[in-house]
Structure 1
C-alpha cells in the first residue's frame, strides 16, 4: 500500500527527515521578504538542490507577529520533492497518476477532525480579524497590489449534478471577510459559476489552505470534468480521504486540513482585482473578477498556511508539468486510441501550459495529425505550440526538439494554425486595458495554436556521430583518464534512420580498420570526366 500522509504535518516531517526542508525560525517580513527568499532558489540553485520552506516566525513591516506558519515549495520545489509527495520514484510518477485516474477511491465522511479545533463565524469571525489575521504573504513585492492566496484548493459543487470539483484559482485579499476569486469560464469553477448564475443563486465554495499532498496535487491537475478530485486524491494517497461537513455551506473538506474558508461567490457582482504575477512569467493585469464572501473560518491550532510561487520556473510550473503530462498522455494514448504516443512533455518555460511536445512512433502518416488535433482539443487553454516528434527525439530536451523542427519538417507542408483557443492570461492575446472578455477570447475567433509535425516523412541518413560501440569504448577510456564526469545527452552516438546502403556500411567499416586507400580506390573507379560549362 502507498505511503499515506494523513495530513500536511506528517508530510512536513517526512520532508525534514529526507533533508528537503529549510526550517526558518528567524523573523521574516511576509510582505517584503518571505516569498523573495523562497523564489531565490529557482534563480540561483540547481533544480535538484531546491527544498521546501517552512517559515515559523512570520511578521510584517510594522513588526506584527502572526499566529501559525507559512509553508512554500512543499509539492514542487524539485522533482525529488514531487516524487516524495506522490510516493513514487521519479520514473514512476506518470504510472502513479494513471493508476489514480483509472482506479479512483471515493472519499469517506467522518463526524469531525482537527480542522474543527477552531471555528470562527458571526461575531467571532469579525473579532478574530478573519482573513487579515492569516500570515498571507505578498508574492511579488513591488508589483502585486495585495497579498494573494496562491495555493487555495477551491471546492465547489455542480449545481445540477452535485459533483464536486477542486481547483486552484488566484484569490486577492480584500478584507476581513472578502477576497477576489478568478472564475475563468473555460475552467470547471467557471462552469459551476455559470450554472449557479442561470439558477439565480450564489455559488457556494470552501477553500482548503493546507492539506495532505494528494489534495494539492489533484487540485492543480486537469482532471476530466465530472470525475471527483477527492476520489483521485484518495487513489494517489492509497486510501479514502476523510471528509467533514462544512459549518455554513453544503460542502465537505478534509478532516485534517490546516485552514478552511467557507462562503459564497455572488453571481451578479464583480469588481477589479489584481495585478498579480502569473504563470506566464509576466504580471497579470487588473481585471474584473468575482468576489468571495467569507462566512466562516475553521482551522487547527497554530495552523500552517500553504503557498505556491508562480512564474517561470516555479513550484507551480513543475507541478503542472508532471500532472498535465500524465493526464494528456492517457487522453491521447488510451482515450483517443493512438498507441504510438510514447510520451508527452509540457515545457516549464511555456508555463507548463502553452508549449507541448508529443513523442510518438508513428505507423501511418495520419497519426501525427491525429495526435496534434486531439491534443489541441483536450482543453481550450492548453497548447499554443504543439509539436510531434519521432521516438528518437527527447521531448523534454528543447535542443533536440529544435533539431527536429529545423530538419524534419517544412513549415508550408507540416504546420497548421488553428483558432478559437482561449487566452488563459497570455499577454500576447490582447493589448493592456482590453475588456476582460476580449482579453480572454479576442474577437472574432479567439486565440490560436500552431501545430507542427516534426517527424521524418521518409528514410533519413544516419545521425552524424560515431557508432555506439566506438562511443562506449571512448567513454571507458575517458573514465580511465579520470576526465570530468560525463552526463550523456541524447543523441550521444550515431544510428541508422533508414537511408544507408550496404556499400556505405562496408566503406565505413574499412575506414575504421585503417583501410583508407582501398576506399579511395573504390571511389576512383567510379570517377567520371566533367565537361566544362
Structure 2
C-alpha cells in the first residue's frame, strides 16, 4: 500500500521503533547535523527534531538511514526483491495465445495504475506565498559542516522541462540558500536538468524550475535514480509504490509537482547568470570546491499546514545516502545484466562513495572478457564516473569487500592485469588534474590461464572438503564452542 505522504511513512517508523523524537531546541546551524552524524554512524534511528531554533517547522533526518528503513521506504521486503520486480517487467514478452494473454492481465493491470495523474487541489498548496511574502528563511535549512558556505537544501526534488520537447526531468541537486528569494542550483553538466538549462540558454530564455521538498519516499528516491533519459522519474516512483503519483499544477510556473509534498519552491534560472556556490561538506567526506553555478529565483513558496522539513546529512560513510546508493545498486543490477549477461553480481562499496569503486563478478569464459566488461561498464550512463573497476570470478562474493581485496592481492600481476584509461569523472572528484576528467583503473583479479599468457599453474583457494564439514556440523553443539 503506497504511502499517502511523508507523514504516513514517519508514523510507520514511529510505530516500529525506528524514529526518535527530540524535544530539545537545537540549532539548524551545525547542531542538528552533529546529532544526526553521531546517530548515522551508529546506524541509529530516524530523527524528528520538534523544535529547531528559528523555525516553526519540525526537521526530520536519517529517515532512510538503515537497510530496514530503506526497505520500508520503498515498501519491499528487501532491495533484491525490487530488482526482481524490474526483471519481471523486462522479461515480459508479447503473449502468443489466449492463455498467455490471460496470464498477462494482472501484470498489465498493475502497470496501468502507475502512470502519474493530475489533481486539482493538493496539501502542498495549503499555504501559498508569493511576491513580498516569499522568504526562504521560514524553512529550517541546515548548515551541516563548519566549512560550508551557508545553509543548503539537501533533499530537493528538482523539476524542469525540456524547452524543445516539453519532456520532464526530475533530479536531486543541492541548493545553497543565498538570501530570502535566491539559491544556487548545483546541477552538474552531465545531468538532465543541466541539459535543459543549456538549451534554454542557447535560446536566451529563462528556464522554469519547481522544487518539491518532502514528497512520499518513493518520489524522493526516484529523483536520485540514474534512469535512462526516456524514463519519467514520477512514472518510476509509481512503479516502486505500485500506485500513481498525484501531481498538481504550480501557481507561478508551468510545471507539476507531487501533490503530497511538504514544501514547494517555484521559480526560474536566468540564462547566463552565475554565482559562486560552495564549498559544501559532501558525500565524499571532503568539502566540494566552490565554483560558479546558476541562480534559482523563487517566485512562490507553497506548503502544507502540517509541513515537516526533511533533510539529509552527507559526509564520510556510512551515512544516510549509503542505503539509498545500495538501493540503486540492487534495483539497477537487472538492467546491467540484460546488457552484460555474464555478470553475476556487482557491488558499489560504501567506502568508494558509489562512484570510486565498482566490484563485479563474472562468469568468465574467454580471454579479454574482463576488459570487455570494464569498458562496457564505463559506457553505461552514470557508471562512466567509476574510477576503479575490479573484476573477479563468479564464486567471489563481491559484497564482501575484504574478500575482493584478498583476491586482488593474490591474483593480480600489476603489469599484466591493470588497465589505465582516461575518461569522465564525477564533478566532486578533487584528485583529478582537470575538473570532470581524469584517469581510471581497471583491475583484473580473475584466474588466468595459458590463453592469457599465464603458463604456470594456478592453485586452488583453500577450502575444507564437504564431508569433513558435515561431520563437524553434526557434533558442533557438543564442543562447547
Provide the residue aligned with 1:51 in structure 2: 45
Q: In structure 1, what is the Cα distance between the partners aligned to 2:365 and 2:132?
A: 68
1:139 corresponds to 2:140: no
- Distance 1:266-1:53 versus aligned 2 partners, 3 A rule: same
Q: In structure 2, what is the Cα distance between the partners aligned to 1:98 and 1:220?
A: 20
1:92 corresponds to 2:95: no
2:56 pairs with one of 60, 67, 72: 67
Cα displacement (A) at 1:476? 5.1
Cα displacement (A) at 1:214? 0.5
Cα displacement (A) at 1:189? 1.6
Q: In structure 2, what is the Cα distance between the partners aligned to 1:137 and 1:270?
A: 23
Provide the residue aligned with 2:207 in structure 1: 203
* Secondary structure, aligned partner of 2:197: helix
Provide the residue aligned with 1:520 in structure 2: none
2:259 pairs with one of 250, 255, 261: 255
1:245 pairs with one of 239, 249, 269: 249
1:185 corresponds to 2:183: no
Matches within 5 A, 1:65-464: 66-75=55-64, 77-90=65-78, 91-96=80-85, 98=87, 105-125=114-134, 130-140=135-145, 142-311=146-315, 312-327=317-332, 329-334=333-338, 336=339, 338-379=340-381, 382-430=385-433, 438-440=434-436, 446-458=437-449, 460-464=458-462
Q: In structure 1, what is the Cα distance between the partners aligned to 2:150 and 2:158?
A: 20
Cα displacement (A) at 1:240? 0.7
* Secondary structure, aligned partner of 1:403: helix
Alignment deviations for residues 368-398 of structure 1 (CA, whole Å, 9 cap, x no partner): 2222111111136521001111111111211
Structure 1 gaps of 5+ residues are 431-437, 441-445, 484-533
Are the counterparts in 2 of residues 208 and 259 from structure 1 also a CA contact under 8 Å? yes
* Secondary structure, aligned partner of 1:268: strand
Q: CA RMSD in A?
A: 2.0
* Secondary structure, aligned partner of 1:42: helix
- Distance 1:100-1:20 versus aligned 2 partners, 3 A rule: farther
Alignment deviations for residues 147-198 of structure 1 (CA, whole Å, 9 cap, x no partner): 1011111111111222211111111011111111112111112111111111
TM-score, normalised on structure 1? 0.81
Alignment deviations for residues 112-167 of structure 1 (CA, whole Å, 9 cap, x no partner): 11111001111332xxxx11111111111x22121101111111111122221111
Are the counterparts in 2 of residues 404 and 454 from structure 1 also a CA contact under 8 Å? yes
Are the counterparts in 1 of residues 83 and 334 from structure 2 also a CA contact under 8 Å? no
- Distance 1:236-1:423 versus aligned 2 partners, 3 A rule: closer
Are the counterparts in 1 of residues 346 and 358 from structure 2 also a CA contact under 8 Å? yes
Q: In structure 1, what is the Cα distance between the partners aligned to 2:276 and 2:474?
A: 63
Q: In structure 2, what is the Cα distance between the partners aligned to 1:264 and 1:74?
A: 29
Q: In structure 2, what is the Cα distance between the partners aligned to 1:453 and 1:134?
A: 50
- Distance 1:244-1:482 versus aligned 2 partners, 3 A rule: farther
Cα displacement (A) at 1:325? 4.3
* Secondary structure, aligned partner of 2:252: coil
- Distance 1:195-1:389 versus aligned 2 partners, 3 A rule: same
TM-score, normalised on structure 2? 0.89
Are the counterparts in 2 of residues 343 and 359 from structure 1 also a CA contact under 8 Å? yes
* Secondary structure, aligned partner of 1:267: strand
Provide the residue aligned with 2:453 in structure 1: none
- Distance 1:39-1:476 versus aligned 2 partners, 3 A rule: farther
- Distance 1:26-1:268 versus aligned 2 partners, 3 A rule: same
Q: In structure 2, what is the Cα distance between the partners aligned to 1:332 and 1:453?
A: 19
Aligned residues: 451
Cα displacement (A) at 1:261? 0.4
Q: In structure 2, what is the Cα distance between the partners aligned to 1:473 and 1:29?
A: 61
1:471 pairs with one of 466, 469, 472: 469
Q: In structure 1, what is the Cα distance between the partners aligned to 2:480 and 2:57?
A: 52
Q: In structure 2, what is the Cα distance between the partners aligned to 1:370 and 1:238?
A: 37
Q: Which has the larger radius of gyration?
A: 1
- Distance 1:460-1:195 versus aligned 2 partners, 3 A rule: same
Q: In structure 2, what is the Cα distance between the partners aligned to 1:246 and 1:150?
A: 21
- Distance 1:476-1:180 versus aligned 2 partners, 3 A rule: farther
Q: In structure 1, what is the Cα distance between the partners aligned to 2:284 and 2:372?
A: 28
* Secondary structure, aligned partner of 1:439: coil
* Secondary structure, aligned partner of 2:420: strand
Are the counterparts in 2 of residues 86 and 96 from structure 1 also a CA contact under 8 Å? no
Q: In structure 1, what is the Cα distance between the partners aligned to 2:292 and 2:90?
A: 35
- Distance 1:482-1:116 versus aligned 2 partners, 3 A rule: farther
Structure 2 gaps of 5+ residues are 92-110, 450-456
Q: In structure 2, what is the Cα distance between the partners aligned to 1:456 and 1:112?
A: 61
Q: In structure 1, what is the Cα distance between the partners aligned to 2:69 and 2:471?
A: 36
